[in-house]
Structure 1
Amino acid sequence: MKKLVLMFAISGLLMSCNKKIENTAGISTDTTSTIIDETENVIPKSDNLGQVAIYEGVLPCADCSGIKTVLKIYFGDGTMESHKFELSSTYQGKGPGNEFVQKGNYNTERGLEKDPDGTIYVLNYDKPEGEQLFYGYTAATPDKIFLLDNKRQIIKSKLNYSLTKK
């Protein structure tokens, strides 16, 4: 968000300051190109996915000591097309090949159970329903995200199906 505000501020400067100035060496310089060069040093050109929310925890596992899980939610530029996620799952107590990384797109839905201000992340929203995963948080506890069942409900269990924001 800060980068977006900075870009708007710089755009305003570019429009209002497009004139020639003379630097200390007496050489005429275009201020627009100078501002652009300085901006590229502050905001490098890259595949920047924007701000990221990182949730971590250990989810229950039927045949291991737990699944160390890291969910990264990239907000991109705010458009649905730029919403990306990365989900890493490491099965603890297993041999080699115990880590799985899944990357894809997500969408958000408002409301979680009885909380109209809660948020649900639909991971792989653009894939068949069987490949979609659901995580969500309530407005009261935005730093704790829950793995949801296929009906988009918090899994009711004595086991811990939540991740904590880092």
Structure 2
Amino acid sequence: MKPLSALLFSAITIVCISCGHHSTPASATNTSVKTVPDTSSSGISNDASAVIYTGQLPCGNCSGVAATLTLSASRQDGFYYTLREVYQGLKSGKDEVITSEGTYTILRGTSSDPQAEVVLLNPEKDKVLQRCFQRKGVEVLQLLDNEQRPLPGAQQFQLRRKK
């Protein structure tokens, strides 16, 4: 099953790179990679595919944030994400759920790693509304700051691929 998962993520990434919006924040030094994938023999549908990442992220004013990031790729509809964040253990005693949706793109390179693959949420929006995740292998996305640098305690800011 792991080779199939790796193949699925690779195919989605290739589709994202070939059809996505390739914008780069002004302060980033990324260059986008554009290829034309041949997914006809991969067993991956070009109509719609989704990969889900989940994790518990640290929070300054709560006990933690349960995050679920769904990345969808479709040749017809483009590349969309849904991010569901549950802020747990708030002082009010109630959890707060925030769901955001939008587009994403795949960028190549960061200032510290020219080979890094970065998933940029909301590339068309103001930088303060963007989120960046660096792909760490097939199974992990690591949250980056707005300058696409790792956050202190980087391992605490990881989402793992749902199996």
Cα separation, 1, equivalents of 2:114 and 2:54: 25
Shift in Å at residue 97 of structure 1?
A: 6.2
Q: Corresponding residue for 1:152?
A: 148
Matched, 1:93 2:128: no
Q: Corresponding residue for 1:121?
A: 119
Larger helix proportion, structure 1 or 2? Answer: 1
Matched, 1:5 2:1: no
Identity of aligned residues (%): 27
SS in structure 1 at match of 2:70: strand
Q: CA RMSD in A?
A: 2.6
Q: TM-score, normalised by structure 2?
A: 0.64
Cα separation, 1, equivalents of 2:107 and 2:134: 9
Q: Is the 8 A contact 1:69 1:90 kept in 2?
A: yes
Q: Corresponding residue for 2:32?
A: none
Cα separation, 2, equivalents of 1:84 and 1:158: 25
Matched, 1:84 2:80: yes
Report which structure shows greater RCO (CA 8 Å, sep ≥6): 2
Q: How does 1:39-118 map to 2 (within 5 A)?
A: 50-77=48-75, 82-94=78-90, 95-96=93-94, 98-112=96-110, 114-118=112-116
SS in structure 2 at match of 1:72: strand
Shift in Å at residue 156 of structure 1?
A: 2.4
Ranges in structure 2 where 5+ consecutive residues have no aligned partner: 1-10, 12-38
Cα separation, 2, equivalents of 1:131 and 1:58: 21
Cα separation, 1, equivalents of 2:47 and 2:142: 23
Post-superposition CA distance 1:14-73 (Å, at most 9, x none): xxxxxxxxxxxxxxxxxxxxxxxxxxxxx9xxxx96111110000001121100000001
Ranges in structure 1 where 5+ consecutive residues have no aligned partner: 7-42
Q: Are the structure 2 counterparts of residues 101 and 158 from structure 1 closer, same or farther at C-alpha, using a change threshold of 3 Å? A: closer
Q: TM-score, normalised by structure 1?
A: 0.63
Cα separation, 2, equivalents of 1:59 and 1:85: 18
Count residues with an aligned counterpart: 120
Q: Is the 8 A contact 2:88 2:94 kept in 1?
A: no
Q: Is the 8 A contact 1:112 1:136 kept in 2?
A: no
